[in-house]
A and B are shown apart, each in its own frame.
Chain A
């Protein structure tokens, strides 16, 4: 044996799972935000709470989309089920303690995930889109058709959430709610991180990259996909339960298509396949949505749509910049939706030229960064 080589490989593999400096920074910032003085405005906790469960929801989709390659347009099915289960458990006093109810809601969603996982194993991307969309719509319709249980279109009223672990009661500032969500997110994140760096996680990456080859090295592809789909459904259900518990409410729009679509937007902003994409994307999305809603409370969906179009056309960074530019110009010149659409078409017309220009820009930036790097040898890369 070559002990030196073995040790090198061991160190390499261990290094892949090691916590990076940026990760520590991210979580320290996140956990620090619990501290009162960090955010001077108490009402910020409401949006932070939304970011927390949205991040968990996005994380759950990343598990199947970024790691297993399954496209889903109906992930809201699990989110919504978790939401209603948590709300119903609280309303009817079946399980009063929120954490326990949270787990039960997650398990309910996991059961649904397991049951429907077999439908997404086969078939093309389009078939998967259809099936997942169909399941979410069915769930919505079920909820709609039993208003005596779910409250129907008006939503489930009269839900009261007991104190967490019997001690921490939800306060009007949402401080407890946020802490609760953040801790749940952190714990589940740690679990997910462990999973993706395990042999199981490696096999998922293999399945995503080449399912044919995976089965021919002995991986039981279907079983792995069912497993991760069920786990992802659990996570989504927990996220939905967090929403229900922190708002003491559940309504039909937890199953809506917009929710699944927004989730995809979160992941396209944040990126998939590295676990933090959902979290970063959730922060970015909520901030964007919040600021858009202040500028244009009724038609902010238009700008979300515009952002989506440009993110796809020009990638994450340039797409966002161009969309933001158009937004700014539109507001400054008081342009109508029609005129903005014309600008969009014009940009499409000049797409080739714009892409070339952006490539040149990329090259220039890379050269600048290269100069900066060589000027400061301390920042030079460490070998893996």
Chain B
């Protein structure tokens, strides 16, 4: 049972890294970016090409995936997304769905539609036993990496000037602008960083989540659930939400395989009924 918990935690932390960029985007600009999963997919395939075909070491592949995806995010944000901020939510949804369709078709064309696997180093394969818990080496890596990232994010958010600018902008963009904070600049940087994290998550998660051109649509729901349940005004909210979703999903699929998939959908709907603004969001807000 503890193994399930361990796997669930790994899954949840991965979901967090994948989804936290989306959460900040929503909280900061009230922008629904359904194409977030496309950046994750991009990161995954970039690492695939670098590691499997160009023979780069795994960790280098991860780092480059982060950077390249962040750059792609910045590029798209400055040229396209910026024109859609003022539009209503429906338009934003349609716009990002359009990008998703384009990305799926493009990746399908270039890489083929079959599921692909990134070659992970031998040291990370297999599992070992610790106090009766089956610890998968790769999953352990995920927990470590994602844990470090979470800590780093929290430190940046609370300890740096950029972090306080970001928090101010999320809290009230108009007032923040009035204080001289370059909200658009903050957002561009955050969007890029969030996309980079998504790319990293996509690369890290390829082994567990499976990587194929339909990735953005398959996992879009999970990201959205994390963001909706966790709220978009902090790091802790989505983090706990992601853990909850991860553990519930893994446990659900193990203990009640027939209904495993329902578990998270039902949790989401129930939570949204009880607290429409998300489980961990502030009571007041936009």
Quick check: do A and B touch in the complex, using CB within 8 A? yes
Interface of A toward B, CB cutoff 8 Å: 65, 71, 73, 118-119, 122-127, 129-131, 133-135, 137-138, 141-142, 145, 257-258, 261, 264-265, 268, 298-302, 304-309, 311-313, 337-338, 341, 344-346, 348-349, 351
CB distance B79 to A134 under 8 Å? no
Task: Find chain A residues with CB under 8 A from B262 CB.
Answer: 138, 141-142
Chain B nearest CB from A139 CB (Å) reads 10
Task: Find chain A residues with CB under 8 A from B277 CB.
Answer: 123-124, 127
A264-B93, A304-B101 given; A341·B272 CB < 8 A: no
Cα A268 to Cα B90 in complex, Å, equals: 10
The closest CB in chain B to the CB of A313 belongs to B83
CB distance B265 to A305 under 8 Å? no
Task: Find chain B residues with CB under 8 A from A65 CB.
Answer: 90
CB distance A71 to B93 under 8 Å? yes
Which secondary structure dominates where chain B touches chain A? Answer: helix
- In chain B, positions 233-265 with a C-beta closer than 8 Å to chain A are 258-259, 261-262, 265
Cα A180 to Cα B188 in complex, Å, equals: 53
Contact of A130 among B80, B94, B95, B228 (CB under 8 A): B228
Cα A352 to Cα B19 in complex, Å, equals: 31
Q: How many residues of B contact A (CB 8 A)?
A: 50
CB distance B225 to A130 under 8 Å? yes
A137-B221, A299-B105, A307-B98 given; A126·B228 CB < 8 A: yes
CB distance A311 to B80 under 8 Å? no
CB distance B265 to A268 under 8 Å? no
Asked if B26 is at the interface (CB within 8 A of a chain A CB), the reply is yes
Cα A119 to Cα B271 in complex, Å, equals: 11
Task: Find chain B residues with CB under 8 A from A341 CB.
Answer: 102, 106
CB distance B80 to A141 under 8 Å? no
Asked if B20 is at the interface (CB within 8 A of a chain A CB), the reply is no
CB distance B98 to A306 under 8 Å? yes
A133-B224, A134-B268, A344-B80 given; A261·B97 CB < 8 A: yes
Asked if B126 is at the interface (CB within 8 A of a chain A CB), the reply is no
The closest CB in chain B to the CB of A349 belongs to B79
Task: Find chain A residues with CB under 8 A from B120 CB.
Answer: none
Asked if B273 is at the interface (CB within 8 A of a chain A CB), the reply is yes
Cα A278 to Cα B83 in complex, Å, equals: 27
CB distance B94 to A265 under 8 Å? yes
Asked if B172 is at the interface (CB within 8 A of a chain A CB), the reply is no
CB distance B26 to A126 under 8 Å? yes
A71-B90, A123-B272, A312-B87 given; A301·B95 CB < 8 A: no
Cα A142 to Cα B82 in complex, Å, equals: 39
Cα A351 to Cα B272 in complex, Å, equals: 38
Task: Find chain B residues with CB under 8 A from A265 CB.
Answer: 94
Interface mask (B257-286 → A, CB under 8 Å = 1, otherwise 0): 011011001101100110011000000000
10 pairs, A vs B, C-beta closer than 8 Å: A126-B26, A133-B221, A137-B265, A141-B261, A298-B108, A305-B101, A308-B98, A309-B95, A311-B98, A312-B95
